[in-house]
Structure 1
Amino acid sequence: MTDADTTAFTIRPLDPTTWDAFAALCDRHAGGGFGGCYCTWFHGEKHSAPDSRPERPAGSTKELKHDLVLAGDAHAALVFDGDLAVGWAQFGSPEELPGIRHRKEYLETTTSLPDYRITCVFVDRQYRGRGVGRLAIAGALDLIAAAGGGVVEGYPRDDDKRVAPSFLYSMTRRVFEDAGFDYDRPKGTVNCVMRTTVAAR
């Protein structure tokens, strides 16, 4: 599929009207990665995958995400092929998404927190390699601009080595560079912090 083919896709925000499509995408992938987290992993300071916290049993992450969406406390740019959601880029403030990986190292090396962070990019297995992840990031930046803009961080892999999709919760540094992000510093052994500033729209 060429880049020109991505014009068939549309971007919609994650909200109560798109919840069913988002949930269906997760359901097709056993909860959407990270052991079935339904993209709740980064919402808590401690990781929120099933069974990782005693008060959150396996199978409850879908309900948790639904509650967050209904409350307006979960944000993502969803990529649609017709009525089918085929990918997303999760974004939110550090308060909404505090549980990034390598959090201790990150806080020790930061001079200021961003206004927003893009924490997770996920693509339906049938649509990988077709530019959906790039569209999702662009969609997230557009939604951030509509919300007032600000400093945005991403945490991609700092190389282009092929990685199993189950371990790649974001994209690569090159993808974020193409989206207008600048390298800031390393984070962990294979990821990095990248930043861009989005003007209000």
Structure 2
Amino acid sequence: MTVPDSVMKLDARPVTAERWGDLERLFGPRGANGGCWCTWWRLSRSEFSGYSAAERKQVLQGIVASGQVPGVLAYLDERPVAWCSIGPRESYPALERSRILARVDDQPVWSIVCFFVAREYRKRGLLVPSIQAAVAYAAQQGARIVEAYPVDPRGQAVEAVRSFTGLAPAFERAGFVEVARRSDRRPIMRYVIVPAP
């Protein structure tokens, strides 16, 4: 799917077993954010702390090998440059246990929980098109509501390590609206997908 935004050559593709090598290439030997391998929301806090980066990598690789799609990769000129984790909210057990990010209601939602952008492509406007690509993928899978849990910078700089869930202004630009806030800087935002006629 091509993303209609300022980055016209950005293509997003679901991460399948055939694309695992591209995800490894993007995450690099350190496994994205300090060896997380995008398992922060997929494991209990004790599991996450107890696992090595190699074990976390095995968890994510196992998800992909099982046929589940844990997110989408964004490509520029066939090079993977950004990652967005998206899936049904239930696929993120740690999110389900969060008090601050607890469910707003009983509606089924898909959740965007994480981003990773290659260092040389940061601050180039890839966040909004990555969000749009994730929403488009969720819509293709039948999702009607996509939820996100970004950081609200409130005019202050936010370290990259603290903004892996995205920034609220980018979600606003992508059409998301705030639906709840139980923490000063962590809104819950939603995008409602209008079914095609």
Please give the range of the TM-score, normalised by the shorter of the 2 chains: 0.7 to 0.9
Which one of the candidate residues 102, 105, 120 is aligned to 1:111? 105
CA RMSD of aligned residues (A): 2.2
State the 1:45 CA deviation.
Answer: 4.2
Q: How many residue pairs are counted as aligned between the two chains?
A: 191
Aligned to 2:157, the other structure's residue is in SS state coil
State the 1:79 CA deviation.
Answer: 0.7
Aligned to 2:124, the other structure's residue is in SS state coil
1:27-53 CA deviation, whole Å, 9 max, x = no partner? 16x2111x311111111343754xx13
Structure 1: gaps (5+ residues): none
Structure 2: gaps (5+ residues): none
Q: Which residue of 1 aligns with 2:19?
A: 18
Q: Which residue of 2 aligns with 1:95?
A: 90
Matched, 1:137 2:131: yes
Report if the CA contact (8 A) 1:78-1:89 is conserved. yes
Q: Which residue of 2 aligns with 1:166?
A: 161
Normalised by the length of structure 1, the TM-score is 0.85
State the 1:184 CA deviation.
Answer: 1.2
Aligned to 1:43, the other structure's residue is in SS state coil
Report if the CA contact (8 A) 1:102-1:187 is conserved. no
Percent of pairs with identical residues:
26
Change over 3 Å in CA distance of 1:74–1:41 after alignment to 2: farther
Which one of the candidate residues 118, 122, 132 is aligned to 1:128? 122
Q: Which residue of 1 aligns with 2:39?
A: 40
Name the amino acid aligned to 1:11: A
Normalised by the length of structure 2, the TM-score is 0.86
1:22-76 CA deviation, whole Å, 9 max, x = no partner? 1111116x2111x311111111343754xx13xx344211111111011133421
Change over 3 Å in CA distance of 1:48–1:150 after alignment to 2: farther
Name the amino acid aligned to 2:42: H
